[in-house]
Amino acid sequence: MSEMPMTLSRRQLFGVGSGLCGLFLGRNAKAGTLQNKDQASERLQFEELSEVFAFGVASGDPLQDRVILWTHVGSIGEQRVLVEWQVALDIHFIDLVSLGETTTDEICDFTVKVDAILPEAGTTYYYRFRAHGYWSPVGRTRTAPKSSDHLRIAVASCSSIWSGYFNSYEILSQRADLDLIVHCGDYIYDFPDKDELRNLSMRTKNQKIPQNLEDQRQRYRYYRTDPHLRAAHQQHPWSIVWDNHDICTGASREEA
Give me the tens of pLDDT residue by residue for the chain, a chain 256 residues long. 333 333 434 333 334 344 434 433 433 333 333 233 334 335 565 555 578 999 999 999 999 999 999 999 987 778 899 999 999 999 999 999 999 999 999 999 999 999 999 999 999 999 999 999 999 999 999 999 988 778 899 999 888 877 778 899 999 999 999 999 999 988 877 777 666 665 555 555 667 777 788 878 888 888 888 999 999 999 999 999 887 676 765 544 444 4
Give residue limits of the domains in the chain: 10-41+151-247, 57-142
**Residue-wise DSSP of the chain:** -PPPPSS--HHHHHHHHHHHHHHHHHHHHHHHHHHTHHHHTTPPPP-PPPSTTTT-EEEE---SSEEEEEEE---TT-SEEEEEEEEESSTTS-SEEEEEEEEEEGGGTTEEEEEEE-S-TT-EEEEEEEETTEEPPPEEEEPPPSS-S---EEEE----TTSS--HHHHHHHT-S--SEEEE-S-SS-SS--HHHHT--SS--S--SPP-SHHHHHHHHHHHTT-HHHHHHHHHSEEEE---HHHH-SS--TTT-
Judge: domain 57-142, CATH 2.60.40.380. yes
* pTM of the complete model: 0.76
